[in-house]
Amino acid sequence: MIEPSYRNLRHEQPGPGIHLLTLDRPRALNALDGTTLGELACAVRGLSGDAGARALLVTGGGTKAFVAGADISEMQSLSPEEARSFSAGAARLFLEIEALPMPVIALVNGYALGGGCELALACDWIIAADNAVFGQPEVNLGIPPGFGGTQRLPRRIAPGKALELLLTGRQVNADEAVAIGLANEKVAPDALLARGIEMAKLIASRGPYAVRLVKQAWQRGQSLDLAAACAIESDLFGLAFSSADQKEGMRAFIEKRPPVFCGR
């Protein structure tokens, strides 16, 4: 497959099956304009069909920001109809990121505000640098979040805390983000990428088919009662026993050797 040429996005592979997408508009603090969102959509759709992809890391270019938000200079003159279309398009893209079969990890280096926080929330989990700052400050602009923030934030952290942050626009640092469950951990800025790659390599070493099933079970069960969610888990558990990875994993365990998974 020929790699598209991007202006505001870098796509790299720091290891077998590991992909790294870097939003690269550092002079604009990596703000999400139409071009950047379009390039991100192209990359995500390419990865969704890549059977060899095992993990995706998402970060921002430069040292100041993951993504400082949507591009306000591009948004300010939108009509209500155009604004709705802009919001709906980004929301669809973030749903596609969420639906990727491989785990997606946000490496938040600096500001993750507005659309940047929403992008991080669309990832499966977040590793924050010491200088990370999270927030949904849209109410300061006279608008609500438009890329899923009102829905994902209360699903990630305590609903009351989420509502407080959404209504006040208050920003939180890396320590508070970890304390409230918004970020999984914090690391030094110069260790962020290495930590992300370390986690991605760990995931890539596990059974790829099982990893996909775990993510599917987790996502599908979030909105269900426990009995229904456990029924989904049982279905997927049974499905795993039709896979070559299950046969190899259990055979390797019995033979006391490392498994060699094929992802099927």
**AA letter at 159:** P
H-helix segments, the chain? 34-48, 72-75, 80-99, 115-122, 149-156, 159-168, 174-179, 192-204, 208-221, 226-240, 244-254
Any catalytic annotation for residue 176? no
Active-site choice (118, 185, 198, 248):
118
Using CA atoms, how far residue 75 sits from 82, 87, 152, in Å, is: 9, 10, 22
Using CA atoms, how far residue 51 sits from 138, 216, 223, 261, in Å, is: 38, 16, 27, 13
How far is Cα of residue 151 from the mean position of the Cα atoms in its chain?
15
Any catalytic annotation for residue 138? yes
Active-site choice (12, 81, 98, 138):
138
Catalytic residues, which ones?
Answer: 118, 138
